Structure formats: structure tokens, C-alpha cells
Amino acid sequence: MIALEDVGKSYATRYGRHLVFKDVNLQIAKGEKVGILGRNGAGKSTLVRIIGGAESPTRGKVTRNMTVSWPLAFSGAFQHSLTGYDNLRFICRVYDVDPDEKVDEVQAFSELGKFLWEPIRTYSAGMRARLGFAVSMAIEFDCFLIDEITAVGDARFRDRCHEELHVKRGDRAMIMVSHDANYVREHCHKAGVLTGGQLTMFDDVDEAYSFYMAHASE
């Protein structure tokens, strides 16, 4: 169970504090899939980082009783001057997993071959995406945070991501941020819409989507 109680977030700017959202209440039970809809800049990624604990809320309380992944967005969470292997090792150490047990698995998914031992900055966008996904699958979580997963990669990559995430790990909880209504509709049990600094939750994804469309211009 993950619970957000009256969570608010604001950032310091040159002109005072900028409120991203306030009074957010959200519960995610084991195995539950929750979608988050919202325009660019509505605060979706901020909310995901707060759920994951990478950022702390300005107000309110976050309780985590399951292990939560970092936001899987493919580009972040890596050091680009290091090799793919060094990054894998670092992340494994942080999460207390033996890196050497995971190399084969990561190689199989990322298909990087010898490039695993080259700095990440030399990788193409596709290679980075494959490595990012492979490393995040190397560590098991009860809840995965997914930020715009459908935005990168070709059809084959997306199919393989789908297999790993929604078939093999279909029993896990997931929080998905996406502009793609079909993706959210297909995978989520419920969805929330972030507009005007408020999160409105819907038990029905279609309802959430029509609310989102109606408020999209706000």
C-alpha cells in the first residue's frame, strides 16, 4: 500500500513560491494500476517523483509499505560519462542486488553486446532506452513508476517492454503517466487527472479521460 495524504508541492522561484499541486490524496493497493493524466507542466512527473521518494513533498505525508521503483523514464538516473556496466553496478549496489548475477539478463534485453562496456554518452537514443529498461527490470519492485513509457523506441522495443512489464510483472502495482489514452485505458484500473493544481480521481478510466478532455484547455 502506498498512501498520499494531503500532499502539496511548491517550488521556490524568483517571484515567490510556485504551487504545483495541493491536497493530493491517493492510495495505491498491491497490484493496482493507476494512470495519471494531465497536460504538459501539470505536475505529473513531480507527483511521480514524490510517490517514488526522489523528492519530498512540501506538505502532507507519503507512506510506502511496498518497494517502489525509481521513475522509469529511460533517460534519467544514469551517469553518462560512465559505461553501461558501471551504471548497472552502481544501481545494483544501491538496491542491494549482486550486479554480476544481472549482467546476462541485462545483455539479453538491451542487446548492447560489447557496448555495455562503453560510456553511455556514445549510445544512441534507442540503446539508452533499452539499457534503461533492462536495468530497471534487473531489480524487482512491488510497484513500478512509469513515466511516458510509450514515448521511445520502435514497435519491437515496445512489444518487449510490454512483455516484461505487463505480462511477466502483471501482478505488480504500477503508476503510469501518459498522454496516450489508449495505453492508460488498456492497463489501468483507475486514473487521476491533474488540472489546476488538483488531482481528481476516477474509478473508471473512460470517465477520467472525458474529464481530462473537458479540462484540457485550462
Binding site for another protein (CB under 8 A): 11-12, 46, 49, 52-56, 58, 62-68, 70-71, 76-79, 81-82, 86, 89-91, 93-96
Nearest to 204 by CA among 217, 185, 218, 181: 185
Cα 113 to Cα 76, 85, 89, 93, 117: the distances in Å are: 22, 11, 16, 22, 8
Burial 197-216 (b: 16+ CB within 10 A, else e): bebbebeebeebbebbeebe
φ, ψ of residue 211 in degrees (nearest 5): -65, -45
Half-sphere exposure of 83 (CA within 13 A, CB side): 10
Write down the least CB distance from residue 182 to another protein, Å: 27
- 164/169 Cα distance (integer angstroms): 6
Nearer to another protein, 38 or 71 (CB): 71
Write down the least CB distance from residue 117 to another protein, Å: 10
Nearer to another protein, 70 or 209 (CB): 70
Write down the least CB distance from residue 39 to another protein, Å: 19
Sorted by sequence, the CB contacts under 8 Å of residue 148 that are 6+ apart come out as 73, 177, 178, 179
C-alpha cell at 113: 553486446
Nearer to another protein, 56 or 217 (CB): 56
Write down the least CB distance from residue 101 to another protein, Å: 16
Write down the least CB distance from residue 201 to another protein, Å: 23
- 53/78 Cα distance (integer angstroms): 17
Nearer to another protein, 9 or 215 (CB): 9
Nearer to another protein, 117 or 210 (CB): 117
